[in-house]
Amino acid sequence: MDKNGTYFLALKQIARHANSAKPLKKALTLIARRTSQAMKATGCSILLLNPKKEHLFILAAFGLSDRYLRKGALNVYKSIPDIINGEITTVRVSSGNNHTQYPEAAELENIHTIIGLPLFQEGEFIGELRLYTSDERQISTIDKEFLSAVSNLIVLTIEKSELNNLLAQSEKTGKPKQVKLIDIAAATGSVSRTSGFSHPSEDEFAKLLDFYRIEWLYEPKSFPLAWEGKKITEMFTPDFYLPELDLYIELTTLRQKLITEKNRKIRKIRELHPEIHIKLLNKSDYYKLLAKYGYGPLGGSKVEGINKVLFSHTQIQRRVISLAKRISQDYQDRNLVLVGVLKGVICFISDLMQHISIPVNVEFMAISYYGTDKEQAVKITKDLDASIAGRDVLMVEDIVDTGMTLNYLLNHLYAHNPASLKVCALLDKRIRRLVDIPIDYIGFEIPDEFIVGYGLDYHGEYRNLPFIGVLNPEIF
């Protein structure tokens, strides 16, 4: 049978798998197998982009050893980065090729060529389909057409799975739910968990990481520890990898025998791979670790009552640094004054000024409200200490919702005759806007929910949380 006939039959079978009632991972594994067979390849993998859009994880694979699948986290910008540009890419594997992230692992697997192409949903890059061959391979036009058709069927399979999940949730709750096609970049976390965990403590730890919006990969890599000749006789697979922290985590119970054995393996990993950061944790260590890296309850701050974490500590810091960079460029060689209103802005303005690379002055104001809940007026209880006449002023706000208070403050500052006056807000609750005020620098746009943390409070509490969370409506 010629290639046309082979590919036609393969697509019929792949379409049948895509439209089957099989679980997502099973259906995609069958698609990977049939694609590999039709292309006469050594193996095939289907990779999805994680929520931070930095790493790829293997959702399904065929023909590849467990050793190769656990070679390590795939950075989308280091592992065949040309695929992101939207083209089918063929890469010859060699130790000197900087387009492959793990050439040594590929050589051990007897992989000579990797063929990769992107998966797109509504024009957005969401993952990759990869073929692996033991020979040098050139891709023809008909090969490209076949693989493009397969990639579209893979995306449809994932969308169908998510659609079924949403319908099932709607039937279970009895509440009508608007069903949309999957946003893969946001949903990869739930997809990646379909394989399950080997111990309840792993599930608990994963839920804790999810609450704090910390990216994680489950059992992403196995480390060889002992050999007999060229044969590996012992390996160790840490439970989690946290890409943001570049940290491997191995969980353990309090049973001393397990702790002793795992400590032995971790010491061996550190001897063989001193560049690897790895920690052994039991349940009591969870919050200590999270607190150390700025996630957990620091200084006794309460997290009870937080419905969900909207923006993690790392997300906030990345955005603050980005805003500071723009401000530094825009105000180069100018006389900049930052003005903040106490107390909610303290965390934001403190971090922002540290990352601004030009000289700045900082001024603070304080306000109070009087009147009824429906007709509140603003009173300035602390004005600026220094003159801002003829100077460039940047009003720094923690959150802007109706815009009425900000409008009052801007009119007050304009009366001091600054050379220019602009606004930088960490959070923009645009849906609540009553006064249309231009905001020149925006950190995040947020929904109409009660937000606390990172300086924002509820009755004086929650200010010292290192993240921004949504307060449970039952609290107030």
- Gap between the Cα atoms of 48 and 192, Å rounded: 9
Query: Structure tokens of 108?
Result: 């051990």
**Selection from 403, 406, 402, 405 nearest residue 432 by Cα:** 402
Kindly list the distances between the CA atom of residue 161 and the CA atoms of 23, 169, 175, 471, in Å, as whole numbers in the listed order: 8, 12, 20, 32
Phi, psi dihedrals of residue 304, rounded to the nearest 5°: -65, 140
Asked if 239 is an active-site residue, the reply is no
β-strands 43-49, 360-371 pairing: unpaired
- Gap between the Cα atoms of 30 and 303, Å rounded: 44
**Selection from 451, 455, 454, 428 nearest residue 439 by Cα:** 428
Angle of helix 3-18 versus helix 24-38 axis, rounded to 10: 180
**Selection from 76, 75, 43 nearest residue 60 by Cα:** 43
Question: Could you please report the per-residue DSSP string of 344-366?
Answer: TTHHHHHHHHHH--S-EEEEEEE
* DSSP at 391: S
Q: Which amino acid is at 465?
A: L
Find out whether 276 and 270 touch, Cβ atoms under 8 Å.
yes
- Gap between the Cα atoms of 349 and 340, Å rounded: 7
* CA distance from start to end of the chain: 70
CB atoms within 10 A of CB 195: 11
SS3 for 474?
A: helix
Outline where DSSP puts E strands in 171-283: 217-218, 223-228, 231-236, 240-242, 247-251, 278-281
Question: Could you please report the per-residue DSSP string of 126-172?
Answer: EEEEEEEESS-----HHHHHHHHHHHHHHHHHHHHHHHHHHHHHHHH
- Gap between the Cα atoms of 335 and 161, Å rounded: 56
Catalytic residue among 143, 239, 351, 401: 401
What contacts 24+ positions apart, CB below 8 Å, involve 90-94? 90/114, 90/115, 90/137, 90/138, 90/139, 91/115, 91/116, 92/136
Handedness of CA 328, 333, 334, 339 (dihedral sign): positive
Question: Could you please report the per-residue DSSP string of 263-321?
Answer: HHHHHHHHHH-TT--EEEE-GGGHHHHHHHTT-S-GGG---TTEEEEEE-HHHHHHHHH
Residues with a catalytic annotation lie at: 401
